[in-house]
Amino acid sequence: MSKTHFENLFRPIVIKNMEIKNRIALAPMGSLLAYDGGMPSQRLIDHYMARVRGGCGLIMLEDTTVHHSLALCFGEIGVGAIYNDSLIPGWKKLIDEIHKGGARASIQLWHPGRQAPAVGPERPPWAASMLPCPCPNCQDIPHVMSLADIEEIIDCFAQAARRVKAAGVDAIELCGTHGYLIAQFMSAYSNRRTDKYGGDLRSRMRFALEIIEACRAQVGPDFPIIFRFSADERVPGGRSIEESVAIAPWLVQAGVDCLSVSTGVYANVEAYTAAPMAVPKGFLMRDTEAIKAAAKVPVITVGRLNDPLIAEQFVAQGVADIVAIGRQMLADPEWANKVKSGELEDIRWCTSCSHECLHALMTKFTFRCQVNTELGREREMAIKPAATRKRVAVIGGGPAGMEAARVACLRGHDVTLFEREAELGGQFRLAAVPPTKQELLPYIKYQMRQLDKAGVKIKLSTEATAAEVERLKPDAVIVAAGSAPLVPQIPGADGKNVVGARDVLKFKAITGKKVLVAGGGMVGCETADLLASYGRKVTIAEMLPDIASDMVPGPKYHLLKRLEEQKVNIMTSCAIERFTTDGAVVKRDGVQETIRGMDTIVLAMGSVADNKLAKQLEGKIKEILVIGDAEKPGDATEAIAAGAKAGRSV
């Protein structure tokens, strides 16, 4: 297949006096990698420079606080700041490095408003209005800003803009998106004021327009100002695309040189702002087209544009002038270079899981990527040659085993990988079967190609027995054999009408028209989703009060929506006492019930580690590592991380 050319993505563009070498921007994403105090750490610099070297034209630096009080809220967890002049040199160090790498940089000036935690009772978050309920995530009751507070914050944005220009930054980006403070004033969803900053749309826009004008006065007429906002907030009473189209010309008249289009607020941040794979790629196309038609300035857009073919068409067709790539460049900092050279098969594909880069960031304050274990640790996690070359056997060709084999081989080891199935991929391949999950497959293809390029010897359809492994005479064995389905000790679980969820996903078991899925975790729910899409009438029985409790909110939201649309019957707090020939006897809230009329029962009640080979090799092989589900059933993030660690440690 001939290489595809992406000439539109790699045409230069000028915004005001800022020339950018291509149409690819790194979307602004919080990383929590800044020093306490707000200046860029070496780790943050390494993070951004990996994307600069990867060919990105515009680095849109993440949320940076403009007000000193926010340092109390966010300083300890590593958010950047530009609220006084002493911080300028730290940012200049980063900007100088970005410029040396041939890229341009904007910096996002930010105040979270009510979407911030309180710092004790004496320092609540600030907000445009008091609402019946606080921020959906932070939950603290905000302080309603007075006119004096508003004037103070406007000046803070303006002074931050001055500092940014002094640090050598190429442009400022005002954060009017995702329900943060500027957005809170702009939206009827969060602004219930009746003074000059609230009420009708023009009054709600006053705060944003005055910030733009104040920043323009500080940076002069030739310095680019970018304004980022949600075209549709996707909440009842929130700003709609119609209102956003109306305000776009006002933003330009006030002094904005470029509009950056996103979507959503904190109430739906995991469902749409960082959209999971259930949301179509390029889903903001129509919103972006509408904004671009309304305001004759360059437009940046986001929204699952990691497929370079779609990104190219967005630019070629004039949907947007620049595409902002977010999570994909966390997964693979070399994305732009690989696209330019046509090496698409070498892209480490983002799976749009949002598990670590968003959910864990917001709940655990950790910044990781499911498929890129080097994220945020680019310097210390660089792959280095092993001191001694070893013969390494890797047992299992799932995500953990493949990553272990890849890293070990790149370090110079002689690696042989054993996989009992006819194909690599393990549980990831099964996970890609249910509706909307197919985006896992490109990552499996990436891993397979990297194993081939590195020179890993692969033995498919081969059960790695102790004798087989010993014949190889390995110095080290990495056991990543995965897990086996848990068959519960419930009467009737071995019945003829009972099949395993894995067999359903492998299409080895064909169910009848009426199906009982025993187990309402992610596997059970996604199997139910698959069966319902094939016209089966499905009931889920789950012993916990909620289903899909092992899923993060974004993917869970879309899955539950599909289950509801397909009229899947969900029974929670439902303990199965025994299976019958056509259903099960269950106990719900202490009351026994009988489920009848089922043609097939599908077991999705968990997994058990498969580490028997490691036990058989004890005392025979000097170095044995057990990783992933073979050690303890868990998620793909932990499995891939364990594989990378094992590959570095042997």
In whole angstroms, what is the distance from residue 523 CA to residue 519 CA?
8
In whole angstroms, what is the distance from residue 633 CA to residue 384 CA?
29
Count of domains for the chain: 3
CATH number for the domain that contains residue 31: 3.20.20.70
**How does DSSP assign 172-219, residue by residue?**
EEEEE-TT-HHHHHH-TTT----STTSSSHHHHTHHHHHHHHHHHHHH
**180 a catalytic residue:** yes
3-state helix, strand, coil in the chain (%, to 5): 35, 20, 45
Q: Residues 454, 460, 465, 470: is their CA dihedral positive or negative?
A: negative
Strand-pair partners of 624:
477
* Catalytically annotated residue among 48, 83, 180, 443: 180
Q: Are residues 319 and 440 in the same domain?
A: no
pLDDT value, residue 190: 93
Residue 489 lies in a domain: no
pLDDT value, residue 15: 98
Q: Could you tell me the two tokens for 611?
A: 């580490």
In whole angstroms, what is the distance from residue 102 CA to residue 231 CA?
31
Quickly list H helices, 322-457.
327-331, 335-340, 361-364, 399-410, 426-431, 440-454
CATH number for the domain that contains residue 528: 3.50.50.60
Phi, psi of 314 (to 5 degrees): -60, -45
Nearest Cα to Cα of residue 609 among 398, 438, 467, 373: 398
**How does DSSP assign 102-137, residue by residue?**
T-EEEEEEE--TTSS--SSTTSPPEESS--SS--TT
pLDDT value, residue 208: 98
| Residue where one domain finishes, among candidates 307, 329, 364 | 364
User: Which residues lie below 8 Å from residue 619, measured CB to CB, with a gap of 6+?
Assistant: none
In whole angstroms, what is the distance from residue 286 CA to residue 184 CA?
24
Q: Are residues 341 and 243 in the same domain?
A: yes
Q: Are residues 474 and 503 in the same domain?
A: no
Nearest Cα to Cα of residue 643 among 508, 455, 442, 481: 481
Residue 492 lies in a domain: no
How many H-runs (helices) and E-runs (strands) does the chain carry?
A: 22, 28
pLDDT value, residue 121: 67
Q: Are residues 343 and 466 in the same domain?
A: no
In whole angstroms, what is the distance from residue 515 CA to residue 504 CA?
12
- Do 179 and 115 form a contact (C-beta atoms < 8 A)? yes
- Crossing angle for the helix pair 636-649 and 399-410, to the nearest 10 degrees: 30
In whole angstroms, what is the distance from residue 89 CA to residue 112 CA?
24
Residue 370 lies in a domain: no
In whole angstroms, what is the distance from residue 407 CA to residue 424 CA?
17
Residue 3 lies in a domain: no
Q: Could you tell me the two tokens for 613?
A: 């080979």
pLDDT value, residue 334: 98
Q: Are residues 320 and 432 in the same domain?
A: no
Q: Could you tell me the two tokens for 286?
A: 């129509």
Q: Residues 289, 295, 297, 300: is their CA dihedral positive or negative?
A: negative
In whole angstroms, what is the distance from residue 584 CA to residue 516 CA?
9
Which structural domain range is residue 451 located in? 391-484+609-649
pLDDT digits (tens, 9 = 90+) for 406-431: 999 999 999 999 999 999 999 999 99
pLDDT digits (tens, 9 = 90+) for 302-326: 999 999 999 999 999 999 999 999 9
286 to each of 256, 268, 293, 316, how far by Cα in Å? 22, 19, 11, 15
Residue 376 lies in a domain: no
Phi, psi of 619 (to 5 degrees): 85, -10
Q: Are residues 172 and 284 in the same domain?
A: yes
Residues of the chain with pLDDT under 70: 1-4, 36, 69-77, 120-121, 132-135, 137
For the chain, give the percent of residues with pLDDT over 90. 88
**How does DSSP assign 516-565, residue by residue?**
EEE--SHHHHHHHHHHHHTT-EEEEE-SSSSSSTTS-HHHHHHHHHHHHH
3-class DSSP assignment, residue 359? helix
Q: Are residues 527 and 595 in the same domain?
A: yes
Give exposure, 92-129, as e/b (b: 16+ Cβ within 10 Å). Answer: bebbebbeebebbbbbbbbbbbbbbbbbeeebbbbbbb
Q: Are residues 153 and 268 in the same domain?
A: yes
Cβ count within 10 A of residue 4: 11
| Residue where one domain finishes, among candidates 364, 379, 404 | 364
pLDDT value, residue 106: 98
Residue 453 lies in a domain: yes
Cβ count within 10 A of residue 336: 30
Q: Are residues 265 and 299 in the same domain?
A: yes
3-class DSSP assignment, residue 398? coil
pLDDT value, residue 79: 84
pLDDT value, residue 2: 46
pLDDT value, residue 507: 94
Nearest Cα to Cα of residue 44 among 120, 95, 116: 95
Residue 48 lies in a domain: yes
pLDDT value, residue 76: 55
3-class DSSP assignment, residue 508? coil
Cβ count within 10 A of residue 152: 13
pLDDT digits (tens, 9 = 90+) for 37-80: 788 999 999 999 999 999 999 999 999 999 976 655 565 567 88
Cβ count within 10 A of residue 50: 22
Q: Are residues 594 and 642 in the same domain?
A: no
State CA 253 to chain mean position distance: 35
Bridge-based pairing state of the strands 583-588 and 574-580: antiparallel
In whole angstroms, what is the distance from residue 274 CA to residue 76 CA?
24
Q: Are residues 520 and 438 in the same domain?
A: no
pLDDT value, residue 1: 37
Q: Are residues 207 and 279 in the same domain?
A: yes
CATH number for the domain that contains residue 616: 3.40.50.720
HSE of 526, CA atoms in CB hemisphere, 13 A = 21
Residue 78 lies in a domain: yes
Q: Could you tell me the two tokens for 207?
A: 């705060």
pLDDT value, residue 100: 98
